Amino acid sequence: MKLETAEFIRSAHGSGEYLRDGRPEIAFVGRSNVGKSSLLNRLLGRKGLARISSTPGRTQAVNYFLVNRRFYFVDLPGYGYAKAGREDRREWAGRVEGYFRQALPGALVVMLVDGKVGATPLDVQAYQYLSSLGAAIVVAATKIDKLPRGRWAAMVREVRATLELEESIPVIPVSARSGDGIKELWGAIAPHFEASPR
């Protein structure tokens, strides 16, 4: 797919601000500090489009990026940031749930799991929650540049087993740093918006 334009459109903090203009949406979700913003920037070929921070829990809004004027990449707040207060966590959960209530079943969800750490109990909860909503899911195992290439296949098997994934759900090892797996991830995402008439 030829990437022509990518622009930040809006940060939404509540249900009245979520975009519903009929364009396909690809929503990126994962634990805090799993590398969502870095991966978005790498996929879109724009260094500072999604703001990156080494501080977990920095993305607190639902951020929309319009790609090729045809579909949205949606950056969702990370889950499981331990230092966030209970009220903050409740607010984030409400925001993410509010987004999914409006976006599903139409949106494709790219769920990020840290390839170096593996799938955590929080990832298992998130996957079960998304599955219960009937979401179409692609799993991206991030930060694989920190793993020897010979470990990738075993890591993918471990992620599959921990999340109890159905065979039809792909697990794609990716690295925002090296670019490994970016083409494959685009290959998994593309059918979702190519089917759209826009």
Compute the Cα dihedral for 38, 159, 62, 32 and give only its sign.
Answer: negative
CATH number at residue 43: 3.40.50.300
Give the per-residue pLDDT at 92.
Answer: 66
Question: Rounded distance, CA 155 to CA 144, Å?
Answer: 9
Which uninterrupted H or E stretch holds 95?
helix 86-103
Question: pLDDT tens per residue, the chain (198 residues)?
Answer: 788 899 999 998 887 889 989 999 999 999 988 999 899 999 998 877 776 544 444 457 899 999 999 999 999 988 765 455 666 667 767 788 889 888 988 899 999 999 999 999 999 999 998 999 899 999 999 999 999 999 999 999 999 999 999 999 999 999 999 999 999 999 999 988 776 655
Q: Which two tokens stand for residue 47?
A: 């260094």
In a domain, 195, yes or no: no
Give the per-residue pLDDT at 57.
Answer: 44
- Structural domain range at position 181: 6-189
In a domain, 196, yes or no: no
In a domain, 32, yes or no: yes
Q: Do 57 and 89 meet the contact criterion of CB atoms below 8 Å apart? A: no
What is the secondary structure of 148-165 as a DSSP string?
-GGGHHHHHHHHHHHHT-
Give the per-residue pLDDT at 89.
Answer: 61
For residue 196, how many other CB atoms are within 10 A of its CB?
12
In a domain, 175, yes or no: yes
- Report the number of distinct structural domains present in the chain: 1
- Region label for 69, one of left (φ > 0), alpha (ψ between -120 and 50) or beta (otherwise): left
Using alpha carbons, select from 187, 87, 94 the residue that is nearest to residue 76: 94
In a domain, 13, yes or no: yes
